[in-house]
């Protein structure tokens, strides 16, 4: 799994671990540790890991908690086979489903526009290979379960059976919240983020089976597998963020020109400054998805990537987001009067524009990619 930490998880727009600091990374390992403790029947430790995951990332923790409950329920059913019934199996499966969720009325056009910026919430928008990435693991776990049964590996067998059910339930849930339009706002629950935990366990199990049947203690086999794998993942990572350093260390100035500009804003503008940015700036070549707010420690105008994600989770924000998006829609053609309008309406006192930038602005900072300019 360590060699594949930045592999995409089907069509969920997730990696096993994000390349930047994210609480989801901590919740990921907490989910793995909780699962391992369940298999060892150390339930108190499992609960503690789940509680930790809830504190740092409640949504991802919900998937780990539901899987742990499913594992315990299946163990109880296996130990009491004479009590197994359709009702009990149904109760075990229902532990995966969210409760306390109301069916919101049809959402506004503003919310719909924000939600559509995150097509990975909607399985009908996935590519065929992304859907394959969501359903193929169930077949693999069925196969691994058969291997485990032949070898009498009871924990692995139960784990694989539970993951097949887990995958089927959440895939069905994704179809339910995606296909009927009236459930559109429920897609923000993102049922297929369940694949995050499933993929981690998949690679751990695959690694264990490779070690058992193929790698053994032959060093050359380990090298033959992991050297090409690591080189391929390295090349993919460099292609993803070509304008940034592969490893960014504290205290070392960033190589990315956008990041350099954001740090200049942090060091040279008032703490209450409002900064205007292209709403599509995170998609621009060379920007490398460097977030403004966390680096500059300043407020900015809305964007189409991160802020639409917040809107998709909290629908009441939709109208404000949409209205400001309309005011920024023609950003690439903005001139001084347009920036002055933003200052009057939203308090924008600084703007970051791509080179060469519009004429007539005072720009105390510039580099090869952008300029930082004050608004008169």
What residues does each domain of the chain span?
2-240, 257-374
Is the pLDDT at 84 greater than 50, yes or no? Answer: no
Average pLDDT rounded to a whole number, residues 249-257: 90
Q: What are the φ/ψ torsions at residue 84 (nearest 5 degrees)?
A: -65, 130
186 Cβ contact partners less than 8 Å away, ≥ 6 residues apart: 101, 103, 104, 177
362, β-bridge pairs: 374
Average pLDDT rounded to a whole number, residues 55-71: 93
Give pLDDT, residue 106. 45
Is the pLDDT at 33 greater than 60, yes or no? Answer: yes
Higher pLDDT, 136 or 187: 136
Higher pLDDT, 107 or 159: 159
Could you tell me the two tokens for 266?
A: 């942090």
Could you tell me the two tokens for 67?
A: 């899987």
Q: 134 near 195, Cβ under 8 Å?
A: yes
d(C-alpha 199, C-alpha 16), whole Å: 8
Average pLDDT rounded to a whole number, residues 337-362: 92
Mean pLDDT of the chain: 87
Least confident of 77-81, 102-106, 247-251: 102-106
Higher pLDDT, 310 or 225: 225
d(C-alpha 295, C-alpha 244), whole Å: 14
Give pLDDT, residue 101. 43
Give pLDDT, residue 185. 64
29: left (phi over 0), alpha (psi -120 to 50) or beta: alpha
Give pLDDT, residue 311. 84
45-49, 119-123, 171-175: which is most confident: 45-49
Least confident of 116-125, 180-189, 326-335: 180-189
Average pLDDT rounded to a whole number, residues 197-222: 92
Give pLDDT, residue 181. 63
14: left (phi over 0), alpha (psi -120 to 50) or beta: beta
Give per-residue pLDDT as tens, 145-188: 999 999 999 899 999 999 999 999 999 888 887 766 666 666 67
Q: Is 148 helix (H, G, I), strand (E, B) or coil?
A: helix
Q: 274 near 339, Cβ under 8 Å?
A: no
Give pLDDT, residue 103. 46
Give pLDDT, residue 162. 94
Give pLDDT, residue 102. 43
Q: What are the φ/ψ torsions at residue 310 (nearest 5 degrees)?
A: -65, -40
Average pLDDT rounded to a whole number, residues 240-252: 89
Q: 6 near 17, Cβ under 8 Å?
A: yes
d(C-alpha 365, C-alpha 376), whole Å: 16
Percent of the chain at pLDDT above 70? 90
């Amino acid at each position: 799994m360590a060699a594949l930490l930045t592999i995409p998880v089907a069509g969920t727009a997730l990696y096993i671990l994000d390349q930047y600091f994210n609480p989801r990374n901590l919740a990921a390992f907490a989910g793995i540790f909780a699962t391992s403790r369940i298999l060892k029947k150390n339930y108190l430790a499992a609960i503690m890991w789940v509680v930790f995951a809830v504190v740092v990332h409640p949504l991802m923790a919900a998937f780990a908690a539901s899987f742990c409950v499913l594992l315990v329920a299946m163990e109880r059913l296996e130990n009491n086979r004479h009590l197994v019934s359709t009702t009990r199996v149904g109760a075990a499966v229902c532990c995966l489903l969210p409760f306390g969720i109301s069916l919101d009325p049809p959402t506004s056009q503003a919310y719909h526009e924000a939600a559509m910026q995150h097509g990975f919430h909607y399985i009908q928008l996935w590519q065929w290979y992304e859907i394959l990435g969501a359903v193929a693991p169930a077949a693999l776990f069925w196969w691994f379960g058969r291997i485990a049964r032949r070898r009498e590996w009871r924990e692995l067998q139960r784990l694989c059976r539970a993951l097949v059910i887990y995958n089927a339930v959440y895939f069905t849930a994704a179809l339910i919240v995606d296909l009927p339009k009236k459930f559109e706002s429920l897609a923000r629950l993102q049922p297929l983020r369940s694949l995050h935990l499933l993929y981690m366990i998949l690679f751990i199990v695959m690694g264990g089976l490779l070690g058992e049947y193929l790698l053994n203690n032959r060093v050359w086999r380990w090298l033959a597998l992991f050297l090409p794998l690591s080189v391929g993942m390295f090349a993919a990572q460099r292609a993803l963020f070509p304008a940034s350093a592969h490893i960014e260390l504290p205290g070392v100035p960033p190589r990315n020109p956008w990041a350099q500009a954001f740090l200049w804003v942090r060091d040279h503008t008032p703490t209450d400054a409002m900064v205007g940015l292209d709403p599509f700036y995170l998609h621009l070549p060379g920007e490398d998805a460097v977030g403004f707010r966390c680096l500059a420690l300043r407020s900015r105008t809305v964007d189409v990537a991160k802020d639409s994600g917040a809107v998709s989770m909290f629908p009441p924000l939709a109208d404000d987001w949409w209205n400001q998006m309309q005011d920024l829609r023609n950003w690439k053609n903005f001139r001084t009067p347009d920036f002055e309008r933003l200052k009057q309406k939203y308090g924008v006192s600084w703007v970051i524009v791509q080179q060469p930038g519009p004429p007539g602005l005072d720009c105390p900072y510039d580099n090869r990619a952008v300029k930082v300019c004050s608004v008169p």
